[in-house]
Chains A and B, each alone.
With several copies, the nearest count.
Chain A
Amino acid sequence: MGGYGDVQLLRDDGKRLDGRALDELRPVTVEAGVLPAADGSARVTHGLNVAVVAVYGPMEAHPRKIQRQDRAVIDVRYNMAPFSTSDRIRPGFNRRSREISKVTAEALESVVLVERFPRSKIRVEIEILAAEAGTRCVGITAAAVALADAGIPMRDLIVGVASGKIEDTVVLDLDKAEDNYGQADLPVGILPNTGEVAFLQMDGDLSPDEFNLAMEYNFKAAGEIHDIMVEALQRRYEGGEA
């Protein structure tokens, strides 16, 4: 977390600078089936973040040495487009994107019924077109919808969402300023039906009590986003090809 400036992030009325309540999400939209070339796809906007995900597969896993006898491997690439951030990012992977790709793949492997597709590979391509804090969560949400759109069987969706701390106060879903000047960030990937956690990271400073409140906010918000995801998938099934 940045946390190095004297920046006011809470208004006198207790609301946040953009008018949100402490436990209020930024606006979220979800659309499934947005990329004609992909087997499954989704576009999620969350605040000013834009993530597009393509899913390909299940397909034969090659080279051989990445194959698993008893299950599919999930090959995730989280990528920020060069123009997605304030300062241009050089194309290609960096340490941050490699780490996010790894833990995102592990989270998705926890819900996809990978045992159904031995020796195969499912490619999940997460492209961040615009970034405004919280992109890894937006990418997870979009990946879950794209997997469903591709007809990949899953035991639950995953919802990516984060809480954090600003001015010693726990709040849901940090925006850019809150992320830059905040004190903690707790992004999670929640299985909305089972209440389990498949993705967890955190940095900053949280007391045990603050952690519990932040998790409470996350679980509540996961339910809200889940509803939007389900609606999008229903529209897609009814509407056919986008």
Chain B
Amino acid sequence: MVDLVPTLLRQELSRLADADQRLDGRSRWGSRDVTLETDCLYNAEGSAKVTIGGTIVYAGVKFELRTPWPDRPAQGSLMCGAELRPVAGRKYEPGPPSPQSIELGRVVDRGIRESGCIDMAELCIVPGEKVWGVMIDLHVLSDQGNIFDACGLAAIAALRTAVVPAERFDVGEDHTLSVNGTPIMASFTRVGGRYVLDASEEEELGGDERIHITLGDKGHLHSLQKGLKGVFTPAEFAEIFEVAQTRCVELRKLVAEQEAN
């Protein structure tokens, strides 16, 4: 029961870090290939499939009519949840939502919600009576590292292609959901003592704390999260924050390209 593999792996990762190298030959701020496909699921009102290396996730958007919360009678609602089901990897077990999956869903949710890209008032149909509830469900099919960035990208891409199914609910004509902005998440993991971008499964296994940064179109921060055991210094944060700015611009371009097709 001694976790021998992680111990040896940590040593190797540390050695590589000293030489400014990574297990798969990437540079410190290099990413694996990212692919994005949208509108790929029958029955979802918006959908996206993202792969980052061997990591595969889907996001699906559904709408439902609900009565608004009493303290916000003219506002709809947005909810983003993630399921880390046993399909995603050998380490995942069946059961109620794990703290990991709750954290994943909530961090993606905050990035989108706090960017203000969805105007909750536009989701109101009849004030005090009927509003739209928008649900984004994240579904990880294969985890080979960095599911946070994959889920963040899938969520906003799916949302941006969503069509409000007003006809099916008898409340008007179907129309594109209005989404003002493309918040993007960039995640960093401490591996061998230093932060790297887009950690692989092995790097996560032998690594330490992660930092998740969600940036909006203007480069403002909308969500931060530090996960796992470990600490960082303000100087370290400043360094990855610069990298995050570049990374988010790149991924935002990918979303735009997909939409242009």
- State if A and B touch, Cβ cutoff 8 Å: yes
Chain B 209-229: CB-based contact to A (< 8 A → 1; otherwise 0): 101000010111111111111
8 Å CB contact of B102 from A4, A98, A110: A98
Query: With A37-B143, A101-B99 in contact, is A200–B224 under 8 Å at CB?
Result: yes
8 Å CB contact of A200 from B53, B64, B100, B226: B226
Instruction: Report chain B residues within 8 Å CB of A194.
Output: 231
Question: Is B1 engaged at the interface, CB distance under 8 Å to the other chain?
Answer: yes
Query: With A36-B144, A37-B142, A106-B209 in contact, is A123–B56 under 8 Å at CB?
Result: no
Instruction: Report chain B residues within 8 Å CB of A36.
Output: 53-56, 142, 144
Question: Is A240 engaged at the interface, CB distance under 8 Å to the other chain?
Answer: no
Closest to A35 in B: B142
Question: Given the complex of chains A and B, what is the CA–CA distance between A121 and B207 in angstroms?
Answer: 22
Question: Given the complex of chains A and B, what is the CA–CA distance between A36 and B88 in angstroms?
Answer: 10
Question: Is B83 engaged at the interface, CB distance under 8 Å to the other chain?
Answer: yes
Question: Is A195 engaged at the interface, CB distance under 8 Å to the other chain?
Answer: yes
Instruction: Report chain A residues within 8 Å CB of B2.
Output: 69-70
Question: Given the complex of chains A and B, what is the CA–CA distance between A65 and B23 in angstroms?
Answer: 29
Question: Given the complex of chains A and B, what is the CA–CA distance between A11 and B229 in angstroms?
Answer: 41
Question: Given the complex of chains A and B, what is the CA–CA distance between A38 and B139 in angstroms?
Answer: 15
Contact B103 A35 (CB under 8 A): no
Q: How many whole Å from A109's CB to the nearest CB in chain B?
A: 4
Give the size of the chain A interface in residues (CB under 8 angstroms). 67
Question: Given the complex of chains A and B, what is the CA–CA distance between A207 and B216 in angstroms?
Answer: 10
Question: Given the complex of chains A and B, what is the CA–CA distance between A98 and B225 in angstroms?
Answer: 15
Instruction: Report chain A residues within 8 Å CB of B43.
Output: 48, 83-86, 130-132
Contact B224 A35 (CB under 8 A): no
Q: How many whole Å from B66's CB to the nearest CB in chain A?
A: 12
Interface residues of chain B: helix, strand, loop or mixed (majority): mixed
Question: Is B94 engaged at the interface, CB distance under 8 Å to the other chain?
Answer: yes
Contact B221 A206 (CB under 8 A): yes
Question: Is B110 engaged at the interface, CB distance under 8 Å to the other chain?
Answer: yes
Chain A 97-133: CB-based contact to B (< 8 A → 1; otherwise 0): 0110111001101110000000000010101011110
Contact A205 B220 (CB under 8 A): yes
8 Å CB contact of B90 from A56, A70, A99, A206: A56
Question: Given the complex of chains A and B, what is the CA–CA distance between A204 and B75 in angstroms?
Answer: 18
Interface residues of chain A: helix, strand, loop or mixed (majority): mixed
8 Å CB contact of B99 from A82, A99, A199: A99
Question: Given the complex of chains A and B, what is the CA–CA distance between A37 and B120 in angstroms?
Answer: 38
Instruction: Report chain B residues within 8 Å CB of A91.
Output: 81, 83, 97, 137
Question: Given the complex of chains A and B, what is the CA–CA distance between A77 and B83 in angstroms?
Answer: 14
Question: Given the complex of chains A and B, what is the CA–CA distance between A53 and B142 in angstroms?
Answer: 11
Chain B 41-68: CB-based contact to A (< 8 A → 1; otherwise 0): 1111001000001111010111010000
129-146 of chain A: CB within 8 A of chain B: 129-132
123-153 of chain B: CB within 8 A of chain A: 135, 137, 139, 141-144
Query: With A37-B90, A99-B99 in contact, is A203–B110 under 8 Å at CB?
Result: yes
Contact B231 A198 (CB under 8 A): yes
106-124 of chain B: CB within 8 A of chain A: 106, 110, 113-116, 120
Question: Is B30 engaged at the interface, CB distance under 8 Å to the other chain?
Answer: no
Question: Given the complex of chains A and B, what is the CA–CA distance between A79 and B201 in angstroms?
Answer: 25
Query: With A52-B141, A85-B43, A130-B41 in contact, is A103–B223 under 8 Å at CB?
Result: no
Instruction: Report chain B residues within 8 Å CB of A98.
Output: 99, 102
Contact B135 A102 (CB under 8 A): no
Query: With A84-B41, A195-B233 in contact, is A54–B226 under 8 Å at CB?
Result: no
223-257 of chain B: CB within 8 A of chain A: 223-234, 237, 241
Instruction: Report chain B residues within 8 Å CB of A37.
Output: 54-55, 88-90, 142-144, 201
Question: Is B86 engaged at the interface, CB distance under 8 Å to the other chain?
Answer: yes
Question: Given the complex of chains A and B, what is the CA–CA distance between A54 and B115 in angstroms?
Answer: 35
Contact A4 B87 (CB under 8 A): no
Contact A81 B237 (CB under 8 A): no
Contact A82 B135 (CB under 8 A): yes
Contact B86 A83 (CB under 8 A): no
Interface residues of B (CB under 8 A from A): 1-3, 41-44, 47, 53-56, 58, 60-62, 64, 72, 75, 81, 83, 85-90, 94, 96-97, 99-100, 102-103, 105-106, 110, 113-116, 120, 135, 137, 139, 141-144, 168, 201, 209, 211, 216, 218-234, 237, 241
Complex A-B, nearest 7 residue pairs according to Cβ-Cβ distance, in ascending order: A83-B60, A36-B54, A202-B224, A125-B87, A88-B62, A200-B226, A196-B231
Apart from A81-B139, A103-B103, A197-B232, 5 more pairs, CB < 8 Å? A36-B144, A37-B144, A54-B142, A56-B90, A99-B99
